[in-house]
A and B are shown apart, each in its own frame.
Chain A
Amino acid sequence: ETGVTQSPTHLIKTRGQQVTLRCSSQSGHNTVSWYQQALGQGPQFIFQYYREEENGRGNFPPRFSGLQFPNYSSELNVNALELDDSALYLCASSPVGTFYNEQFFGPGTRLTVL
């Protein structure tokens, strides 16, 4: 149990729709990262938020966006869903303090796009 929670657990959407995934980090974790994990593959970095601002992005289009809130929660929004967006979405948070900041992962949200 890492103290990082995600909701919902599972979600089914249709192509073209929009989706919001949520993550709740541990108190004091001011950095959150989001990853996309397609079936049978390793997680791919989407972006990272630090103190409510995006400060790093992977090779994902702008229809993937995020928000981070002062209460250590965050959101991943995906617009105009495509079939290839079907994946497990993981969030990971890191505590304040040292540069080396271990990431604590949530259990993920399984998104299916039909």
Chain B
Amino acid sequence: AQTVTQSQPEMSVQEAETVTLSCTYDTSESDYYLFWYKQPPSRQMILVIRQEAYKQQNATENRFSVNFQKAAKSFSLKISDSQLGDAAMYFCAYRSGVETSGSRLTFGEGTQLTVNP
């Protein structure tokens, strides 16, 4: 079974600064997808960024980028120019590339990000 670990329960950053959230995972599969989701107090889970394991290039979405280290099974999220609206719980998630696994996501425990003005 796959596991996802987020070792930072809480992180804080000053507005306009950069912060990195850590995630490690364990799997025996070679084909999979990794995600970062944001869950604000409104509770709605929002996809921030995704990475396909077969792609060596790190994904980037505006101020959000990842550092994907497949051999180390590490998938960190970097948020640049942090904004007050970035404050939320962030979850790292894994999805198998095996088609019979469907859309099942395995989530980490989450990192609560605080942005200080």
Contacts and interface: CB of A to CB of B under 8 A. Distances in A.
A87 to B, nearest CB: 12
Interface residues of B, number: 25
A107 B109 contact: no
Contacts, number: 64
Nearest to B101: A56
Contacts of A42: 4, 6, 91, 93, 107-110
Interface of A: 2, 31, 33, 35, 40-45, 48, 50, 55-56, 58, 88, 90, 92, 94, 99-103, 105-108
A55 B102 contact: yes
A93 B35 CA distance: 16
Interface stretch (B14-22, B41-49, B60-68, B73-81): B41-49
Interface of B: 4, 6, 33, 37, 42-47, 50, 52, 91, 93, 99, 101-110
Nearest to B4: A42
A88 B104 contact: no
